[in-house]
């Protein structure tokens, strides 16, 4: 992609790089959806953004069948900030790939904003991934030789949005994550880790997706820049975004509205229970999380979530 001169809308303030995203975050107008996706893009009901029921994922290989996800059911409501946590190999990424429509379950149903993902064509799935889901990765996945602004505009390249509007949306997304304006024309390999991750979050936001899926977004960051990135997620939540975040970090999980734990491919919902002895901070935070979960309210947070039942 050829880099072009920056075109920043008049009146864009030079944001100091405090790391904290602005508290007020207004939504960009959604990219005009394809006709088949109109109901997704314009739906305003309070139905769950994510509603998966009795999902299994079985991989086939020469070594045989590997049953990785077992009867997983899970709902995420609009505006929720949910952490998915669990030991390495427990199935978090497998579940995230299904939530992101990058993989399909072997059995079970997935309703994304009320739409049955299994009934979508490949083109429609691509539209869902492009327009309704924003992905954030541990390793940022930015193009290093490209400018910050061009990286953020990338998801709009395959739309018919004119260049000028692409730039305006990218600027809006970058402002929303608090990146200083004078960094917009920097190459991304000139940025700090925390700044790179904020650019990646801006890129995830540029299509105004319904949901942001973040896989270990603070995993490569020191505690200070990790804090800045978490502040950005909190600002997005305040702006009404739905966030699902994978983390190994108990303190990160404790900041979510709800922490869902996966062990051996089964989902447990409720307080975060670290494998090692908990700290006072984690115990206190876990109590808060447990109070917000329906399973905790029913006293069943230590049981596999919803085995064989209906949510």
**Binding-site ranges for ligand ATP (CB under 6 A):** 59, 61, 66, 68, 86, 88-94
Residue 269's Cα: distance from chain center in Å?
18
Q: How far is the CB of 83 from ligand ATP (least distance, A)?
A: 13
Bridge partners of 112?
50, 115
Count CA within 13 A, CB hemisphere, residue 45.
11
Nearer to ligand ATP, 91 or 178 (CB): 91
Distance CA 222, CA 224 (A): 6
Q: How far is the CB of 11 from ligand ATP (least distance, A)?
A: 43
Nearer to ligand ATP, 93 or 242 (CB): 93
Nearer to ligand ATP, 94 or 147 (CB): 94
Q: How far is the CB of 155 from ligand ATP (least distance, A)?
A: 24
Cβ-contact 152, 183 below 8 angstroms:
no
Q: In b/e form, how buried is each residue of 215-243, taking b as 16+ CB within 10 angstroms?
A: bbbbbbbeeebbbbbbbbbbbbbebebbb
Nearer to ligand ATP, 93 or 301 (CB): 93
H-run or E-run covering 166: helix 163-176
Q: How far is the CB of 96 from ligand ATP (least distance, A)?
A: 7
Q: What does the block give as tokens for 84?
A: 């998915």
Nearer to ligand ATP, 59 or 137 (CB): 59
Q: How far is the CB of 93 from ligand ATP (least distance, A)?
A: 3
């Amino acid at each position: 992609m050829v880099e072009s001169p920056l075109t920043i809308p008049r009146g864009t303030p030079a944001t100091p790089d405090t790391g904290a995203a602005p508290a007020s975050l207004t939504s960009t107008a959604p990219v005009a959806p394809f006709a088949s996706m109109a109901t997704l893009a314009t739906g305003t009901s309070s139905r769950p953004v994510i509603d998966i029921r009795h999902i299994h994922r079985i991989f086939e290989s020469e070594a045989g069948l590997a049953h990785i996800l077992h009867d997983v059911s899970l709902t995420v409501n609009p505006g929720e900030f949910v952490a998915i946590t669990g030991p390495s190999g427990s199935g978090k990424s497998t579940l995230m790939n299904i939530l992101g429509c990058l993989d399909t379950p072997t059995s079970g149903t997935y309703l994304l904003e009320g739409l049955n993902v299994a009934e979508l064509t490949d083109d429609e799935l691509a539209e869902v991934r492009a327009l309704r889901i924003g992905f954030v990765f541990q390793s940022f996945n930015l193009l290093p030789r490209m400018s910050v602004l061009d990286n953020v505009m990338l998801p709009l390249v395959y739309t018919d949005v004119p260049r000028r509007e692409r730039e305006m949306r990218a600027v809006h997304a970058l402002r929303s994550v608090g990146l200083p304006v004078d960094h917009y024309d920097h190459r991304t390999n000139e940025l700090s880790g925390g700044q790179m991750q904020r650019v990646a979050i801006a890129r995830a936001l540029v299509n105004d997706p319904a949901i942001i899926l973040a896989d270990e977004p603070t995993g490569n960051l020191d505690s200070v820049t990790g804090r800045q990135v978490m502040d950005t997620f909190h600002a997005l939540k305040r702006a009404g975004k739905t966030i699902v975040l994978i983390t190994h970090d108990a303190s990160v999980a404790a900041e979510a509205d709800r922490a869902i734990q996966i062990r051996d491919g089964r989902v447990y919902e409720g307080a975060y229970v670290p494998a090692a002895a908990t700290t006072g901070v984690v115990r206190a935070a876990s109590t808060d999380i447990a109070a917000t979960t329906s399973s905790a309210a029913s006293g069943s947070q230590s049981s596999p979530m919803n085995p064989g039942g209906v949510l």
